[in-house]
Structure 1
Amino acid sequence: MSPLIDTGQTSWQNKHETYVQPVRRVLQAVNDPPQSGDPLQRYNATTGALQALIQRALQEGVRLRAFGGGWSFSGAPSTDGYLVDTSPLNLWFRIRDRSIHPAYPGPRGGLYFLQCGNSIAGLNRNLRAEQRSLRTTGASNGQSIVGAMSTGTHGAAIDVGAIQDYVVGIHLIVAPDRHLWVERSSYPVTTDGFAGLLGAELRRDDDLFNAVLVSFGAFGLIHGVMIETDPIFLLEMHRVRRPLDDRLRAAITSLEFTGAGLPGGDERPRHFEVVANPYDMEAGVYVTAMYRRPLRPDYPKPPQGGLAPGDDALQFVGTVTDTIPLLIPTVMTAAVRSQYRTTTVPLEGTTNEIFPTTTTRGKAAGTAIAVPSELALDTVNLILSINREHGPFPCLVALRFVPRTQALLGFTRFPRTCIVDVDGPLSNRTRSFYSRIWQLMSMSGIPYTMHWGKLLGLSAAEARRLYGANVDRWLAARRGLLPPPLRRAFSNR
């Protein structure tokens, strides 16, 4: 059985240093060494070790959660009991045709089974060797695949969705003597025998699957997931500065690009985002458009050093100081102009080359509000009005777009979802700005949700109001799967 290493830690801090969590113990899960057996045997041995840990948590009456990259700003994925570092669990398997269900509707050559600790950046590197690519990622990719899925991490791939939207199978450990392989009944992926290879019980259930997708660890320990991938491709990236005129406003609210004046003309971009500096609006907003292109051997690699091509504001706003409020407009504008650069010629690269970042710079904070894209500009106006009346606050506003998720508590829940990111340095001043935004959004009448992995102010009552019947379906799926002692063990509070 794979060991669990006791680190001796009784507190834990997330990557972005937004909170410190007292815990009973931080444990680290590791796989048995390669000489102990083949990869599947080692994977299954780790399943046994995680089941034994669940037994230990139940006997001691403590809670249990796992983490990967520790990338989440919010405390939603953490707990005060045993916190398990799964980052060393990085086995991965290409799924052979013999394990694919006859009714599976997707391309049969792009399925991969991934252990929970695989990082997004590591997967991009491994998949490149297979001539495959993740369908989308976030702007920075230090997260584990399960952590990114469980909090709804997204990019700006307007027709693809968030990370959880290309997950099609979940290996869920729910008890000392029970673990499940979960798929949608409406979208079978593997043969009935695949679950048996893991020693798992097969469950095909749409509501259970869609509940577990974004669940922060509340259904058990997710040991592995199966994902769909794309053939490897290039992204052709353009970033321009332009006025927020009627053409751009129409593109933002409709996601229709004919006549929008984007660098690719009327071609529909794969990736579309807009960044606004509240203190430099007269000079225009920053528009990033990326277009999918076939891989070719002679493409020029993106430049190294400084910000990566796909980096977002979080990669530099943490270096900005807000100790002298009167200087905030000048300091923010200087930082953006010097670091968030436009392109004079298109940049090209694979997903991993455009979005390679796995580290943080300075101490940054972020909150993100998801709204219907047709109300994106109303939301921006609300945020800018707070800044005018109560600021200045050291923050930038970014708009990213994805389609609706099937995850019951996925925050990208509108047919055309715009995620309005507000990024700034980690400070009391920034937090006070966020509190005002959250309060005004709750009173605005604008339908919205909030990114589970960013800073958020969301009461249980407000979450129920925003997600409606999906909360009841999520809770029903959890109650139907877990008896009360296990529900308590997998609760974060």
Structure 2
Amino acid sequence: MPFRFTQEDALTAWSNFHHTIHQRPIAHYLTPDGLSDTASLATPAPRRQAAALDDILTFCLRALPPKRLVTVGGTWSMSDVLDPLEVVLDPRAFHQVATVEPSMLTPAYRASAAPRGGVPVLVQGGTKMRDLNEVLGKAGLALQTSGANDGHRLAGCIATGTHGSALGIGAVHDTVLAVVLVTAPGQAVLLQPSQASFTPALAAWVQASTGLAVKDDPDDVRFAAAQVALGALGFVHSVVVEAVPLYELVGTVVPLAQTDPRLWAVAGRLDTSGLDARPTPYHVGVLVNPYATPSRPTGAFVTLLWKQAPTRPFAGPSAASAMVATDTSKLLSALVPVAGTLLPPPVMELILSSIIDGQYATSAVGPLFPGQAFGPTTLAPGNGRSTEVVFDLAHGVRGLTAIVEALRAQARQGRYLLGILGVRFGPKSKALLGMARAPMNMYVEVPSLGTVHTSAIQQACWQALRDAGIPFTCHWGQEHALTAAGVTAAYGADAARWVAARRALLPTAAQQQVFGSPMLTRLGLD
């Protein structure tokens, strides 16, 4: 069928950024038209987007059986949350940005937001984080937190619970005030908590701007489900995030040996006093080289960043180039497993440690605007692999030690991680399926160039945590160890509430199939 205001392509070989999904044929790759290539702080979503969505959803819902619709973001997800079948929607045209009129704010929200200078901004789900940072920065605003890089689209960033960068904030989805979901042709719902931030005027404004019939739905459970929706509650048309006045980040990177007690004071209780006398930082991150000898002075790099008022006019990030080109990374991926069987572990570990030392600088940081601190990725496409585990900071020392020891045990068998552990911290998530379940959490990302050993290395890390008796969750968008039983154990009643919210938002079997996925079925979330 013809799709209004939409380019339709039949692709013979589609791959995601990291090629964990590789060369898939896509019968219907659908790209709704845009009015421009850049985001704007003033223009509401054009009505023709509603017409395009109507046709796409009608096509999927009326098919026998209904066709699954996958909306792609930055295509960074490595798990099968992104696994496409026949129909893919590319949301790049959904990139409009608009501040919410003050008259639409409830008195309760005004009072709560005033101390932090909160400014609600409605952002369409296809907006890239780097574009959003640029638009907000030019308006004197900023996101409160962000992921490690800015290549996500907003809807994809929150859909998989991507980690944040601020100790007191959590992840991007924890700064969301409302979500607009399109669940059927011409039908949308504006979800927000029962203690609403917005009057029904916001839903009416979205309806008038888009031509969609928008229901205002202040409900705590459905909103918390939509904060991390896994792409399974409907098409994320728009998200209202709370921005704050523009700020800079300034700090330092401190190298430490892995025997230094100051490293474990950070890993165990977020005690940074041994590294810097200033109060608790806004952001703390740790990079850990699993192959450093205990006394190597660069066994870990601790980044401490504090928030301050701007000292200069806003500027966006510089362009980044890949740290290792795609062809080179694939060559390394092939050579390292061979070298690991030929060279003694101390030699391999010295080589890898020398490479890591050359990539990570020790210096003062900033001042940087948030979009500069967490800017473009330096990864080349096509060869990345990663898993990220999250557990209670109370288990921080044991958990991080277990992972490092697992990686060293794998190295003794000639299996090497071609990467460095990234450790971050954040409070309990407000989302039903948010990864951060404890009052304060440690995130450990285990990234690598892909090799024949990567899967075994990931399995060893997960098993090490199990053997240590440490409960953990995994990043929904990365390679993970999740099972239906594991989801039930980790999320408990919240998983059941999420499923109930999904069925309330998508009441027909056809809707549930259109917005379903193999991962949902496998994990008992359908």
TM-score, length basis structure 2: 0.85
Aligned AA for 1:165?
Answer: D
Structure 1 Cα separation of the partners of residues 184 and 485 of structure 2: 30
1:243 aligned residue (234, 250, 257): 257
Aligned to 1:98: 103
Alignment of 1:149-164 (within 5 A): 149-164=158-173
Q: Secondary structure at the match of 1:76?
A: helix
2:300 aligned residue (285, 288, 305): 285
Q: Which moved more, 1:70-79 or 1:326-335?
A: 326-335
C-alpha displacement at 1:462, in angstroms?
1.5
1:267 lines up with 2:279 in the alignment = yes
Q: Structure 1 residues 306 and 201, CA, compared in 2 at 3 Å: closer, same or farther?
A: closer
1:190 lines up with 2:198 in the alignment = yes
Structure 1 Cα separation of the partners of residues 498 and 483 of structure 2: 17
Could you report, residue by residue, the CA deviation over 1:360-381 in whole angstroms, capped at 9, with x for unpaired residues?
3362221110001121221122
C-alpha displacement at 1:7, in angstroms?
2.1
Q: Structure 1 residues 9 and 285, CA, compared in 2 at 3 Å: closer, same or farther?
A: same
C-alpha displacement at 1:437, in angstroms?
2.0
Q: Structure 1 residues 268 and 248, CA, compared in 2 at 3 Å: closer, same or farther?
A: same
Could you report, residue by residue, the CA deviation over 1:312-338 in whole angstroms, capped at 9, with x for unpaired residues?
xx9x98885423113642332122111
Structure 2 Cα separation of the partners of residues 295 and 239 of structure 1: 21
Q: Aligned pairs, how many?
A: 479
Q: Secondary structure at the match of 2:46?
A: helix
Aligned to 2:52: 49
C-alpha displacement at 1:109, in angstroms?
5.8
1:232 lines up with 2:251 in the alignment = no
Aligned AA for 1:54?
Answer: L
Q: Structure 1 residues 10 and 82, CA, compared in 2 at 3 Å: closer, same or farther?
A: farther
1:143 lines up with 2:152 in the alignment = yes
Structure 2 Cα separation of the partners of residues 305 and 217 of structure 1: 30
Contact 1:10 1:25 in 2 (8 A): no
Structure 2 Cα separation of the partners of residues 126 and 418 of structure 1: 31
Q: Secondary structure at the match of 1:487?
A: helix
Contact 1:55 1:176 in 2 (8 A): yes
Structure 2 Cα separation of the partners of residues 317 and 452 of structure 1: 25
Could you report, residue by residue, the CA deviation over 1:268-310 in whole angstroms, capped at 9, with x for unpaired residues?
11110111112214223111111111111289x99968789xx
Structure 2 Cα separation of the partners of residues 479 and 97 of structure 1: 33
C-alpha displacement at 1:40, in angstroms?
5.8
Alignment of 1:105-116 (within 5 A): 105-107=112-114, 110-116=119-125
Contact 2:44 2:97 in 1 (8 A): no
Could you report, residue by residue, the CA deviation over 1:428-461 in whole angstroms, capped at 9, with x for unpaired residues?
2122100222234345421210011211121222
2:187 aligned residue (178, 181, 198): 178
Q: Structure 1 residues 303 and 47, CA, compared in 2 at 3 Å: closer, same or farther?
A: closer
Q: Structure 1 residues 43 and 190, CA, compared in 2 at 3 Å: closer, same or farther?
A: farther
C-alpha displacement at 1:42, in angstroms?
4.4
Q: Structure 1 residues 376 and 230, CA, compared in 2 at 3 Å: closer, same or farther?
A: same
Contact 1:367 1:434 in 2 (8 A): yes
Could you report, residue by residue, the CA deviation over 1:366-401 in whole angstroms, capped at 9, with x for unpaired residues?
111000112122112222222232324224222100
1:339 lines up with 2:359 in the alignment = yes
Alignment of 1:423-434 (within 5 A): 423-434=447-458
1:28 lines up with 2:10 in the alignment = no
Gap runs ≥5 in structure 1: none
Q: Which moved more, 1:10-19 or 1:150-159?
A: 10-19
Structure 2 Cα separation of the partners of residues 112 and 302 of structure 1: 19
C-alpha displacement at 1:255, in angstroms?
2.2
What is the percentage of aligned positions where both structures have the same residue? 27
Alignment of 1:287-436 (within 5 A): 287-297=302-312, 321=333, 322-323=336-337, 324-325=339-340, 326=343, 328-343=348-363, 345-358=364-377, 360-361=379-380, 363-391=383-411, 392-394=415-417, 395-436=419-460
Aligned to 2:210: none
Contact 1:3 1:32 in 2 (8 A): no
- Aligned alpha-carbon RMSD (Å): 2.7
Aligned AA for 2:284?
Answer: F
1:17 aligned residue (16, 19, 35): 19
Contact 2:44 2:98 in 1 (8 A): no
Aligned to 1:120: 129
1:473 lines up with 2:497 in the alignment = yes
Structure 1 Cα separation of the partners of residues 452 and 197 of structure 2: 47
Structure 2 Cα separation of the partners of residues 401 and 123 of structure 1: 24
Structure 2 Cα separation of the partners of residues 168 and 75 of structure 1: 28
Aligned AA for 2:263?
Answer: L
Q: Structure 1 residues 481 and 303, CA, compared in 2 at 3 Å: closer, same or farther?
A: closer
Contact 2:407 2:460 in 1 (8 A): no
Q: Secondary structure at the match of 1:56?
A: helix
Structure 2 Cα separation of the partners of residues 151 and 85 of structure 1: 17
Contact 1:171 1:179 in 2 (8 A): yes
Gap runs ≥5 in structure 2: 208-213, 519-526
Q: Structure 1 residues 440 and 279, CA, compared in 2 at 3 Å: closer, same or farther?
A: closer
Q: Secondary structure at the match of 1:386?
A: helix
